[in-house]
A and B are shown apart, each in its own frame.
Chain A
């Protein structure tokens, strides 16, 4: 896990966003699978692993480039949420 975090902090914005897209899709796909396979321990381990990666990556992205979710917004003296480019403007894609 620590190894992953070091790699994350060296990524540029595009790489980090791509990483978030990848791990978030893992979370969504595993979530759907677990909805119908509630006892699958391997899947639960898979879910937890990617959920941790997603949480850390989102926090790192918010600290460096601005928030992607309202839970990581954490404003200090400036509200960036509405000021940064929207996804369909080619902002975060």
Chain B
């Protein structure tokens, strides 16, 4: 159930009509990244969202987007109000005028009408939230482009407000994704394990969100044959190296030196009265069988295995 509040979320007071600007702004009404698509996207996605908090975020942001839709319509209305057909034609507004006069109709700036294909409702929490985050950034880019094209401060002021709201929404969706869909003990077990054999030492944020969701809602949203989903995409490249011995330490050992010197020198040398040195202590590194094996995969998906065996001594 919805109620209407008879006010704009942020005031729009434009005193200088300009149909050229109106045509540009109109794209945020019914364009590919416009407020109509945004609102319908969030309000449609919330029914299959397994987390109540995220449903709340989708409901409230979807509702706020309806208020933004009204602001955009108010801007377009004030920019075209009172212009004659000749003035509209001079501003390039004739193709819109002939079909809609000065009415508000959802269309992109280039004339493509609003289409539900511009948004998705996939029934998968991760997919939908990433779509929402991308959508907010696309809307933000569109507002950036509008601000590059439009110089009228009366128009730029509410547009800047709308642009800022897209950033706030992106933030909220990011938190929903991270804190609701990305939490669970399975994640921590995978990600913060000190195990040297873990192949995901730094990537932890969204490593296994589907397992977490499945444990909460009681059924799996992913196919039977797929055990773990990673939202990173593509093949992960990694190099895994094992060497034997793992490390070398310096150690002392004795080397026999008896008989290495010629006996006659001993009898003639001035050192003949000191005790004979039958061995000498030397410092050296342990040298044993060395083996190194390297397994490497890359984006090409081909396995490369190198095994090096070095025996010495």
Q: Which residues of A contact B1 (CB under 8 A)?
A: 24, 87
A19 at the interface (CB under 8 A from B): no
B32-82 interface with A by 8 A CB criterion:
46-47, 52-53, 55-57, 59-60
Contact with B along A62-93 (1 / 0, CB 8 A): 00000001000000000001111111100000
Q: Are A82 and B56 in contact (CB under 8 A)?
A: yes
Is B3 among interface residues, defined by CB-CB distance under 8 A? Answer: yes
A residues less than 8 Å from B55 (CB atoms): 82, 86
Partner of B52, one of A24, A69, A82, A87: A82
Q: Tell me the minimal C-beta distance from A67 to chain B in angstroms.
A: 12
A83 and chain B: residue at smallest CB distance:
B52
Residues of B near A84 (CB, < 8 A) are 52
Find out whether the CB atom of B47 lies under 8 angstroms from the CB atom of A81.
no
Size class of the contact patch on chain A: 10 to 19
Q: Which residues of A contact B57 (CB under 8 A)?
A: 82
**How many residues does chain B have at the interface if contact means C-beta atoms less than 8 Å apart?**
11
Q: Are A86 and B3 in contact (CB under 8 A)?
A: no
In the assembled complex, the CB of A64 is this many whole angstroms from the nearest CB of chain B, namely: 19
Contacts of A88 in B (CB 8 A): 47
State how many angstroms separate the Cβ of B55 from the closest Cβ of chain A: 6
Q: Would A83 and B53 count as touching, CB distance under 8 A?
A: yes
Chain B residues numbered 1-50 whose CB sits less than 8 Å from any CB in chain A: 1, 3, 46-47
Cβ B56 vs Cβ A81 within 8 A: yes
Residues of B within 8 A of A83 (CB): 52-53, 56
Query: How many Å lie between the Cα of A62 and that of B118 in the bound state?
Result: 38
Contact of A69 among B3, B46, B53 (CB under 8 A): B3
- Name A71's closest neighbour in chain B (CB-CB): B3
Complex Cα spacing A84 to B52, Å? 8
Residue in B3, B47, B53 whose beta carbon sits within 8 Å of that of A82 in the complex:
B53
User: Chain A contacts of B47 at CB under 8 A?
Assistant: 88
Chain B residues near A87 (CB-CB < 8 A): 1
List of B residues within 8 angstroms of A86 by Cβ = 46, 52, 55, 59
Q: How far is the CA of A69 from the CA of B3 in the complex (A)?
A: 9
**Per-residue CB proximity of A26-66 to B under 8 Å, as 1/0?**
00000000000000000000000000000000000000000
Distance in Å: Cβ of B169 to nearest Cβ of chain A: 15
Residue of B nearest to A82 (CB): B56
Contact with A along B266-289 (1 / 0, CB 8 A): 000000000000000000000000
17 residue pairs A–B, Cβ–Cβ below 8 Å: A69-B3, A81-B56, A82-B52, A82-B53, A82-B55, A82-B56, A82-B57, A82-B59, A82-B60, A83-B52, A83-B56, A84-B52, A86-B46, A86-B55, A86-B59, A87-B1, A88-B47
6 closest residue pairs by CB, A with B: A82-B56, A82-B53, A86-B55, A82-B52, A83-B52, A88-B47
